[in-house]
Amino acid sequence: MTRRWFHKSVETKYYEERDAVFNALPRLDRRSFMHVSAAAAAAAAANGVSFNFHSFTPVSVAKAQDTGAGGFTFAYISDSHLYERTVNDRFVRSLMRAVDDINRLDPKPDFVLYGGDLAQLGAPAELELGSQILKAVQAPVRMMVGEHDWYLDMGEKWRDLFGAPTYSFDHKGVHFVVLNSVIEKDFWTERNMTPEQRMQTVAGLDNGVQSRFEVGAEQRQWLADDLAKISAATPVIVFSHSPLYKYYKPWNFWTDDADEVQAILARFNQVTVIHGHTHQMLTNRIGNIDFHGMLSTAWPWPYAPEGLPSLTVQMSRPNPFDMHDGLGDGRVMVDPAGLVDKLYNLWNRNPVEVTASYLRGDKSAAPAKPNLVSY
């Protein structure tokens, strides 16, 4: 089909005008420059583009800095869903914004967790682009895999770039574990799917053809072996792409063998799970385990119609007219005892902190309730 005309979105027009300004700059004297830049700002404002001059200003600065006494912080970026730059520039710019946020953090994070779904359709070019952008992160980056990274070549390219998806490490007295929680039972062979069709199926959140996520027996055994050397008093922090509990099955906000994984973690005094996939503020506590979701840089998901953990304080329903609303990155503060406070850095909104004391019943520490919830 040929297109007779094309109506440009506000976003497209803004970036075209911005490019025009920058291309014109070398040819200008100072006076013309002032004139052009004022005109560009006015044009952008007229197009309805809102600028965001500040970005990462934690509300509880004093508290975050308290962690100097033996605690530490790490930051996270998650769910960037990159296409190639020529296909979709918006998601690329969003990831770059997150990298910029993280590099300006004070205090500097000890490391940065990338929470999975770096690519949208698992293509080598998408993963390479993501890998390239993440090289600009100043702190060391710890990678986790998501289903969008995996199902084109079953993780081949991802492992080439980032190594094994399942591993553990120790940092300042805390034992960290990274899992691949997006294993799906084979639904593709009997349907004669190509790798592209398999990837496309998994990429659809509401696509019911795919199977449910699981950690799987092999990794559960690995986890049990890995933790066998660790004393129960050691704080454990687990990174998994999907929530390691059962929230909403049709969208794979779900890990099928979550109960078995939780059982392996049960003997520890203090366990925290940080997960991606759900693209929303999400809080839960089951037994000894605290659960925190991560924000996406690409798009927000609505809260599922049922199964939302009661401890979750929702983020307000994202405003579709603000393309960065409901998105962001964040930071995790770990105190000397291994208790975790989780900061959601929502772009264009006030950051929200979900503290360990709130999860332990301190109502005064509850985050502010949203004024506009999903319904």
Partner 1 sequence: MIRTKMTRLALPAALAAAMIASCGRQAAETATAPAETPAETASAEAPPPASTPVEANMTPAPPAEGELVEVLLCDNETKTTAVADGTREGGQAIADELMTQWKRKNPDAGWIDAELAMHQVKPPADNKDVVGKGQGSTYSRITEMDAALWAQETYKLAVEGSTIFHSGDKLGSTIAVSCDMCHPDASNTHPETYPKFQEQLGQVAMLRDMINWCIEHPVRGERLDPDSAEMRALEAYIIAQRQGTPLQYGKR
Q: Which residues bind partner 1 (CB under 8 A)?
A: 3, 5-7, 9-12, 48, 83, 87-90, 120, 201, 204-209, 250-251, 299-302, 304-305, 317, 320-321, 323, 372, 374-375
SS3 state at 342: strand
Inter-residue contact 256 to 214 (CB < 8 Å) = yes
For the bound state, the minimum distance from the C-beta of residue 302 to partner 1, rounded and expressed in Å, comes to 4
Measured distance between the N- and C-terminal CA atoms of the chain, rounded to whole angstroms: 38
The two beta strands, 352-354 and 271-275, are unpaired
In angstroms, what is the minimal distance from the CB of 317 to partner 1?
Answer: 7
What's the token pair of residue 301?
Answer: 């998901």
Instruction: Report the nearest approach of partner 1 to the CB of residue 251 (Å).
Output: 6
Give the nearest distance from C-beta 160 to partner 1 in angstroms. 24
Q: Which is nearer to partner 1, 5 or 53 (CB)?
A: 5
Q: Between 88 and 168, name the residue whose CB sits nearer to partner 1.
A: 88
Q: Which is nearer to partner 1, 28 or 49 (CB)?
A: 49
Unique residue bearing structure tokens 């993440």: 134
Element (DSSP H or E) covering residue 73:
strand 72-77
Closest CB 39 distance from partner 1, rounded Å: 24
Residue 344 CA to its chain's centroid (Å): 10
Of the pair 294, 333, the CB lying nearest partner 1 is at: 294
Which residue's CB is nearer to partner 1, number 121 or number 332? 121
Closer to partner 1 by Cβ: residue 251 or 344: 251
Q: Of 128, 114, 118, 121, whose CA–CA distance to 160 is shortest?
A: 128
Least distance in angstroms from the C-beta of 120 to partner 1: 8
Return the structure tokens found at 119. Answer: 């690519």
What burial class does residue 16 get, using C-beta atoms within 10 Å of its C-beta: 0-12 exposed, 13-18 middle, 19+ buried? Answer: exposed
- How far apart CA 308 and CA 313 sit, in angstroms, is 10
